[in-house]
Structure 1
Amino acid sequence: MAIDLLYFSWVREAIGTGSETLDPPEGLARVADLIDWLATRSEGHARALADRGRLRAAVDQIFVGLDSPLGRPREVAIFPPVTGG
């Protein structure tokens, strides 16, 4: 199951790309499991995804918590907390 991953702000800068399409292993049940797997892909991924408290996610353009079920998404976005202004 290929997933389009989108990265924003300093997450994008640390990883070195704003997007990638990956086929994660079966059995990733939660968004946090996907993030754990992504963190193993490179030093940049590990650095960007190390502090889960500084991350937010959207699955198929719906904001979700990191403990939310992953399901079979087409797109997952990972970004820092958003502030208004």
Structure 2
Amino acid sequence: MSITVRFFASVRERLGKAQEIIDSADINNVADVWKQSARTALPDNLLAAVNMEFARPDQPVRDGDEVAFFPPVTGGAL
């Protein structure tokens, strides 16, 4: 499974990367994508989108999806 992962604003700065492509058969949902990319549990206040639509952490992902992570719209720290 190949997933394009994008990071925006303070998330990008914190992780030191804007984008990556991950390949793993162990990915089932948005939270799994974050865990593999960031090597930590998904923060409660982090927003995510799958293929440009807001997504919950338990939303399934499929091969070829784009998953984006960004901080809360009103601001806040991670």
TM-score of the superposed pair, with normalisation by structure 1: 0.72
Aligned partner of 1:29 in structure 2 is: 28
Q: Cα RMSD between the aligned structures?
A: 1.8
Say if 2:8 is the partner of 1:8. Answer: yes
Any conservation in 1 of the 2:45–2:71 contact (CA below 8 Å)? yes
Structure 2: tracts of 5 or more residues without a match: none
Other structure's SS at 2:44 match: helix
Deviation at 1:53, TM superposition (A): 1.0
Equivalent pairs counted in the alignment come to 74
Number of the residue aligned with 1:43: none
* Residue 69 of structure 1: aligned partner: 60
1:59 corresponds to which residue? 50
Judge conservation of contact 2:5–2:19 (CA < 8 Å) in 1: yes
What amino acid sits opposite 1:31 in the alignment?
Answer: V
Q: AA paired with 1:37?
A: Q
User: What corresponds to 2:18 in structure 1?
Assistant: 18
Mark the CA change 1:71 to 1:3 in structure 2 (over 3 Å): closer, same or farther.
closer
Deviation above 3 Å: which 4+ runs of structure 1? none
Q: Return 5+ residue gaps in structure 1 as ranges.
A: 41-45
Higher helix content, 1 or 2: 1
Structure number with higher strand proportion: 2
Percent of aligned pairs sharing the same letter = 39
Per the normalisation by structure 2, the TM-score is 0.77
